[in-house]
Every structure is written in C-alpha cells, then in structure tokens.
Structure 1
Amino acid sequence: MNKKEALEIRKLFNPNDCRVDKICACYVDGQKNKLLQTNDSFMTVPEEEVYKYTDIFKKTLSGRIGKNMLNLEFPLAEEAPGGHQHDLLALRDSGLDNQEMIDAFFDKIISTYLYPDHYLILLINGAYDVPGQSSDKDEMFDASEYVYNYLMCCICPVTLNKPGLCYQETTNTFVHKIQDWMVQMPETGFLFPAFNDRNTDIHSLLYYSKNAEDLHPEITKDLLGCPDPVSAGEQKQTFDTIIEETFSNHCDFEVAKTVHEQINALLEGKKDDPEPTPLDKNEIKKFLADCGADSDQLEHFEKTYTVENGEDSKLLASNIAANRRFEVKSDDVKISVAASRTDLIETRVIDGIEYILIPVTNNVEVNGIRIRTSNPASVGAAPVAEDEEIAPFDDSSLPELEGVDDTVFDL
C-alpha cells in the first residue's frame, strides 16, 4: 500500500460515519490472564466512546510507509490450510461471528506477544464500497466497483494514570482522583488484507509499529507468518556500511557530503509520488557512480553487496536519507546544520591538520548569549561610509584562550 491508499482506508474511521461492523476486545494483564473479553456490534458502542476507538484505529494507519507502516507479504506456504494467512482469511470471512476462531486468535496473541504489563487487543471488521474513479482520479461515489472486506487488529498498552486532586464541577470542590487503568494509543497492529491498487490483496497486509526500530518480530513472524522486516534504522546502517566499504580509504568529507546531497536530490524529485522509492542493487550501484565511485570501487561493491545484504534486498531512499539535518560528529564536537545548507561547511588543511570550517555569520549565539564577532559586517553592524576609515581591532587587552578558534573545529 502507498500513502494515498492508507489515507483512503483511514478515512473510513470517521466517528460520524464509521465503516466498522463488529468490534471484539480482550483485556490482558501482566501475567497473560484474560480479565475481560467482549464481542459487540459497533453500532452499540456509546457515542462518546466511538471517538476514542476511531482515534486508535486511525493511529494504526499513521506514520510513514516503509518506517512505521510496512507492507508484508505472506510466503506461499502460509496460504495453505493451517497457515497463518489461511487462518486470517477464514477469520475475516467469518465476519467475527465465530467465537471459537476469535478465542483462538486472542490466545495466539497472548502466547506470542512479548509485553510485561496490561494491554488491550482490539479486533474489528468492516466493509467498504470502493468508489470508482474518473480519468482525472476524482472519486465517483455512485459507481462503486466492489466491496473491500477487512480485519484490523490493534494492540494497545493499558497503564495506570497518576493519582491527585481534581476539580469536581457538580460539587464545586477539589476531590481525590483515584488511579484508573487507561488505554493508550496502539503499540502495534495490522490491516488485513492489504488495499493495494485500491483493491483487495489477500497475499499481503499492512503492518504498524509505533516504534520504528522495535518491530516486534514475535508478531510479524510468529503471529502473522511473514518474514522479518528490516527496520528503517537497520537500512540506514546497512547503507552507511556500503558507503564506507565501497570508498574505503577515500571515504572523506566530500564523499559523505556528495552522498547526502544526491539522496536528498533524489527524494526532492520524488516528493509528490505516493509510493516510497526503493533502491535495489543496480540502482545503488548507479547511485555510487553518481557520487564519484570509480570502476575498482564499484567492482568491490559488486563482490560484497550480495554477501552482506542478499541479491534481492532493497533499501528505501527515505530510510537512508538524513533529510532534516546534516550532521558532523567527532568524539568531542558535534556540528549540525539544515540539510539544504551543506555549503556552509568545508574542510581545509592548516599546518598539516585537517579542519572543519564554518563561517561566522549573523545571529550567532553561544549558550543562548548573542555574541559579537571580529567581522563588523556580521552581526548587525552599523553601515560604514565609503570614505570612513576603520581602525584595525586591537585585541592586545584581551586574555589569551589557548586552543580556541571561533570558526575552526579540529576533528
């Protein structure tokens, strides 16, 4: 699914016109005991609670495709009787009217999910009359082509709120507020089947994880039967290793800067595309050539890529880019600038030592203190007449600070 398709399904959870038929819930404590289990028509849910539930459903379709929301495909074996996809499809087709199947699904989550505290499992199903689209992509609500039937599962932590004093309007007094168990936004969840190309795709699902670096492999692999997804952070680390190994001793500041600029240029050109931009082995090789890799370096890349990452592995451009900040770090120094202003940083060798240099410009602050600089044109200096002579700055009265330079950072 792409971001437009995810948004289209997300709109189904409008509290004023929610396309949910049934809702099943199972409340579990830290010892994996079922404390409560329900199975109700969503039409019977009180109006004030509908808003809370729809917030949870919408959250399970939030984040970024490829980071928090992952498209997972089932291996063919999982579609045979007894497979995970086969069981999910049967559960969806039951319309959540088969309590035995619901119990088995909840039991499997409880035995699989690694969570030490209370949590709530929500399982819903619904139907969506998918509107047709005109040639200019406008929806035609009176021309529905088919019905998309779905399941959604949300797993939400339940935590104790803090006790304290609260104002009670009926008595116009402050009273003691007891601790209550409060349902939080989902930690993980999934939508099945996927809504690919605005159509039902029973061979895949859309998986959600609040923490993009903790994808709960016990859910993706053991509960759903899908191969372990690679997190956004792991993809970034893999790509960084590729750059370091490909350029080897020639991986200097200019190489890293060029890689940063090339990735962000690629993403800028794709910013209006609803689909994420995957890079396979050949596309990464071309990217490295564009960043200055020579034939020997590209040959080394060819030899190591498949061994380290697999022949068919792909990396999403949005996951390997640092599109918000350009950051330089050493043991003692950290420099961070806007991603689009890499031109502010340069390297220079002074007395045989390589330095990172940043020009001092307007509005410089040190620990919140706006400082003056030795350049009168920098920080709002008064204009100078053409014939006015400016005396050189006399710093003889200032104390010497050993090893300090306003504009040069030794890395």
Structure 2
Amino acid sequence: TDYNFIITALCPVNLRIDGLIYNERDNSIAKKESCDRIVELPSDGFLFPLFNDRAPDINGVLYYTKNAKKPNTSVVEELLGCEFSMTCQNEKETFKDILTSVVGDELDYDLITAVNDKISTFVDQNAHETEIPTIDEHRLSSILWEAGVSQKKLEKLHGVYENAMHGKVFRAVNLVEDKVTISGMGFKMTVDNYHKGDVSTAIGKVIFGVADTAVDVNGIGIKMDGVANG
C-alpha cells in the first residue's frame, strides 16, 4: 500500500541584522537595509494522514508541538479544524486533581494503588477493541466505588468532573501508572507494580514514630499515621 502524506512545519522566522552603516547623505548611523531571514526550529507541525494498522487513516492528523505542556490550541482547532484533546501529562494531572478533590481525607496508599489496578484491568480487557478505551464520569464513579471510596465522597464527583473535563473523557491508557513512586521527608522510593504490596511496610519503617506524615504516592498527596511500634 502506498502511503502519500503531507508534512508541514511551522517555524518562527527572525530577521538577522549584521550591523550598522554610515549614511553619508543623512550623516547618520543606520541599520543595514539588507538582512537575512533566519528560520528557527519548528514550534508546531502536523502530518496528514495518520498511518494506522499499516494503512493511511484520513480520519486523523498527527500534531507536533515544541512545548508538550503548553500546546498551541489555535493550530489544532483553527488551522487543522480538529477538537483539541489533552496531552497524556495533562490528563494525568487533571485526573489526580479530580481524585484529590473528590476523595480527600480517604486518600491513602491502598486506595491509590487500587484505583490504578482497576484502570489497568479495564485497559487490558479492552486491548483488542478497535476503539480507544475511555473513562467518562460514570465509569470513573464505578472504579472509585469498587476501589473503596465512600458514597458520601462520590456525591461530589459530578461537579468536580464537569468543572475539570467540560464533557470530555479520559483515555484510559494515559492514566495507568506502571510503577509506584513514593516521596516525602527527604526520601523517594520507586517500585514496580509487582512489589507494590511490600511498600506500605517499607514506608512505615522510614517514617517510624512520626505522626501525620505528608507523603506523595504517584504525585498524589496523602497523610500516613506514624508507626508507634516497629
């Protein structure tokens, strides 16, 4: 199958002034009238059509941005005529904010890892589907309930989700954490998911005798009661 495509780079262009000259007619110093145009590295770009399943896909366009954390939404929406979707990092950060706002003081290590397990299982179950598995408000509510979040906390989900997502959905694969990272009080620990069950004991030894210790689990802040007996 032939793959014909268009690739476009949007590059900032600056004028290069080499120096100043003496203008005899005006008896003045002036910039040189001749100047070069310097093309800098691309700030945005796109490739059309996509290449999926060993064939062109005219229903999609691949967008590039120099700054992944602050993509140029005007290029996506106005130039390409596409609806802007959050980046993977944006989705993770938004999801963490929703989880923190909804669950609040019920957040602990076991709940965070349980939610991650539920999402990972959902991704695996839909791995062979043609559509990308997504998580909307209803599915997120089910995942949080199965992970142990109380009904009282879940009552806040609708407002928090709508304010953060404005009707959009998460791509499930972007929310899965392959490892567990715990940091706080000058320490940082990263383990794979296979050994995550041993982490609570390890943390307890690190924060021995300290009450209400602030700890981040995969970037989500929780508090752990200090261990009085080792």
- Please state which band the TM-score falls in when normalised by the shorter chain: 0.5 to 0.7
Q: Residue type of the partner of 1:250?
A: E
- Counterpart check, 1:275 vs 2:128: no
Match in the other structure for 1:343:
197
Q: Distance in 1 between matches of 2:144 and 2:211?
A: 28
8 Å CA contact 1:194–1:206 kept in 2: the answer is: no
- Counterpart check, 1:252 vs 2:108: yes
Q: Secondary structure at the match of 1:327?
A: strand
TM-score (norm 2): 0.65
Q: Secondary structure at the match of 1:255?
A: helix
Q: Residue type of the partner of 1:30?
A: V
Match in the other structure for 1:12:
2
Match in the other structure for 1:334:
188
Match in the other structure for 2:13:
30
Q: Residue type of the partner of 2:173?
A: S
Identity of paired residues, percent? 14
Q: Secondary structure at the match of 1:190?
A: strand
**CA-CA distance at 1:270 after TM superposition:** 2.9
Q: Residue type of the partner of 1:31?
A: N
**CA-CA distance at 1:243 after TM superposition:** 1.1
Match in the other structure for 2:27:
none
Q: Distance in 2 between matches of 1:24 and 1:216?
A: 17
- Counterpart check, 1:313 vs 2:168: yes
1:46-125 correspondence runs (5 A): 118=39
Q: Distance in 2 between matches of 1:353 and 1:228?
A: 44
Match in the other structure for 2:159:
303
Q: Secondary structure at the match of 2:63?
A: strand
8 Å CA contact 1:246–1:297 kept in 2: the answer is: yes
Encode CA deviations 1:180-208: one digit per residue, 9 max, x unaligned: xxxxxx96313259989x8986xx53232
Q: Residue type of the partner of 1:336?
A: T
1:182-197 correspondence runs (5 A): 188-192=45-49
Match in the other structure for 1:179:
none
Q: Secondary structure at the match of 1:205?
A: coil
Would the alpha carbon gap of residues 255 and 200 (structure 1) be closer, same or farther in structure 2, given more than 3 Å must change? Answer: closer
Q: Distance in 2 between matches of 1:230 and 1:275?
A: 18
Would the alpha carbon gap of residues 27 and 341 (structure 1) be closer, same or farther in structure 2, given more than 3 Å must change? Answer: closer
Q: Residue type of the partner of 1:118?
A: V
Q: Secondary structure at the match of 1:31?
A: strand
Match in the other structure for 1:322:
177
Q: Residue type of the partner of 2:99?
A: I
Q: Secondary structure at the match of 2:194?
A: coil
Q: Secondary structure at the match of 2:61?
A: strand
Q: Secondary structure at the match of 1:259?
A: helix
Q: From the two aligned structures, give the one with the greater helix fraction.
A: 2
Q: Residue type of the partner of 1:328?
A: I
Would the alpha carbon gap of residues 355 and 340 (structure 1) be closer, same or farther in structure 2, given more than 3 Å must change? Answer: farther
Would the alpha carbon gap of residues 210 and 27 (structure 1) be closer, same or farther in structure 2, given more than 3 Å must change? Answer: closer
RMSD value, Cα: 3.9
Encode CA deviations 1:350-387: one digit per residue, 9 max, x unaligned: 5464789xxxxxxxxxxxxxxxxxxxxxxxxxxxxxxx
Q: Secondary structure at the match of 2:164?
A: helix
Encode CA deviations 1:91-145: one digit per residue, 9 max, x unaligned: xxxxxxxxxxxxxxxxxxxxxxxxx9626xxxxxxxxxxxxxxxxxxxxxxxxxx
8 Å CA contact 2:50–2:62 kept in 1: the answer is: no
Q: Residue type of the partner of 1:243?
A: L
**CA-CA distance at 1:244 after TM superposition:** 0.9
Would the alpha carbon gap of residues 334 and 195 (structure 1) be closer, same or farther in structure 2, given more than 3 Å must change? Answer: closer
**CA-CA distance at 1:210 after TM superposition:** 5.8
8 Å CA contact 2:46–2:62 kept in 1: the answer is: yes
**CA-CA distance at 1:230 after TM superposition:** 1.6
Encode CA deviations 1:20-50: one digit per residue, 9 max, x unaligned: 6xx89899672389xxxxxxxxxxxxxxxxx
Q: Distance in 2 between matches of 1:300 and 1:205?
A: 35
Q: Distance in 2 between matches of 1:207 and 1:263?
A: 26
Q: Secondary structure at the match of 1:341?
A: helix
**Of 207, 217, 227, the match for 2:62:** 207
